[in-house]
Amino acid sequence: MQESRKIEIMDTTLRDGEQTSGVSFAAQEKVSVVSLLLDELKVDRVEIASARVSEGEFKSVQKMAQWATTHGYIDKLEVLGFVDGTTSLEWIAKAGCKVVNLLSKGSLKHCTYQLRKSPEQHLEDVKKSINSACEMGLKVNLYLEDWSNGMRDSKDYVFKMMDGLKDEPVTRFMLPDTLGILNPDEAGRFCSEMIERYPGIHFDFHAHNDYDLAVANVYEALKAGVKGVHVTVNGLGERAGNAPLTSVIALIHDHLGFKTNIDESKLYNVSKVVESYSGVRIPNNKPLIGDNVFTQVAGIHADGDKKKNLYFNDLLPERFGRYREYALGKNSGRSNIVKNLEALGIELDEEATSKVTARIIELGDKKEVVSLDELPYIVSDVLKNGNDFKEIQMLNYSLTLTDGLRPTATVKIGIKGKVYQETAAGEGQYHAFSKAMFKIYRSLNKPVPELIDYEVVIPPGGKTNAYVQTVITWKFEGKVFKTRALDIDQTVAAIKATMKMLNMLESGNIPKMNYMELP
């Protein structure tokens, strides 16, 4: 039955993927990736290298082969080899591998202009390489390089090659869209022609993404009946890359209803490891593995999810070792806030939730997204200190930091409708600000509190644009209390906390929950 088909997955991250500009995996990284692909992710085969690249590559292949032999995976490692007599084959065998992916020419142009040989001559050379590989105990898979152009421009040549090789000891014939030229109609039609003409042969399809059609072409190739597909982790590969592993797996499982051996729950972890090793960042909107793809932004979506999971689809994040998030920002609605508070185990009443929602929308105008890690600080800032500055208002301030000079601050504040301005220098920007402020206060004979402690709390995650909470402890008339504020800049947060303190003093409203008697 069509539904019971199992598709073979061959990962070529370490061979084709390493042809990504600027990517080069260290030997130990390659062993690590092979281990993740075979041991954890359960891919069927891994193409790990090209023969004859370098001495360093040879040693890497040796290490991977040693690991695979020890763990019973040696028949799942494959190395690209060339029709060059026995040179590539000896290189592969000496490295300890057992499978060669032999690169033959799949288009007349490649045969004629690159090899400068007739189809008959090339066919004979390929047969000799196959026979030599078998004599050396190597299994053979065969690439028909540039097969897609061959099917477009020289179909008779493709069939001539296949007619001459179909009875050779070749395990798989691999059909590459080497230059990523195919559209889905062509991919499906060409694969169908191969399968109908050569029934019983195992065909793999190898897609490139030059027109951003790699996944769609894989879809049509599988519908046509190919038995295996080639992928890379994160879509790495030369030019626009190869068909990405994660998207292809979701396509196979959800849209075609076919089976694979892949453990979906390990996909995200493997993708992140390869991201680290390759240095190629995963785009935030990359399906399944991008940072934002399981994040709902609009409030109406969070509301729908809360009521009946109305904005869920089959790509549930838990399948891929991830979880759903609800963005906090200017597009957030009350449901977004509630979903995030639930995730943190925080319960607020209606009034408090409304205040927190209003603050997040306000902060979202300054920054695209507020993170879940920052939410507790926002809640604390809103509920403990409020946000209304009435009697004393900050009208303007300027902070100057110059190498070799003391920081200076100029502040302009309004107190009950009157404007005051002062400038001061200090040991730091906030120190300069506070000295300028207290100059104003002393000129008015107003009492000022003593700063007891200054604490900056940074959310986890290491984001340099995260909202930080500055908590300042004050002593005034024998009592100690705290004010706190939130901003991307810790000095600005400290200024906000100071303004809260001054308004509390002006109004005589020091909350009992915020102070304690000194001994």
Contact in structure between 49 and 57 (CB atoms under 8 Å): yes
In terms of Cα–Cα distance, which of 40, 38, 51, 52 is closest to 10? 38
Known catalytic residue at 15: yes
Beta bridge partners of 148: none
Where does 444-475 have alpha helices with state H? none
Known catalytic residue at 193: no
Task: Give the distance between the most distant pair of CA atoms in the chain.
Answer: 103
* Pair of tokens at residue 480: 């100690």
Output the CA angle 174-179-183, nearest 5 degrees.
85
Report how far residue 519's alpha carbon sits from residue 516's, in angstroms, rounded to the nearest whole number: 9
> What crossing angle do the helices spanning 334-344 and 350-364 adopt, rounded to 10°?
110
User: What 3-state class would DSSP assign to 342?
Assistant: helix
Q: Which of 18, 78, 145, 374 is catalytic?
A: 145
Report how far residue 86's alpha carbon sits from residue 153's, in angstroms, rounded to the nearest whole number: 31
Do the bridges between strand 468-476 and strand 479-487 make them parallel or antiparallel, or are there none, so unpaired?
antiparallel
Q: What share of the chain is helix, strand, coil (3-state, %, to 5)?
A: 45, 20, 35
> To which H or E segment does residue 471 belong?
strand 468-476
End-to-end CA distance of the chain: 83
Report how far residue 467's alpha carbon sits from residue 260's, in angstroms, rounded to the nearest whole number: 44
Residue type present at position 180? G
Where does 309-398 have alpha helices with state H? 334-344, 350-364, 375-385
The full 3-state SS of 276-305, as one line of letters, equals HHHCCCCCCCCCCCCCCCCEECCHHHHHHH
**Distances 328 to 338, 345, 358, 377, 467 between C-alpha atoms, Å:** 11, 16, 11, 13, 12
Which residues are catalytically annotated?
A: 15, 145
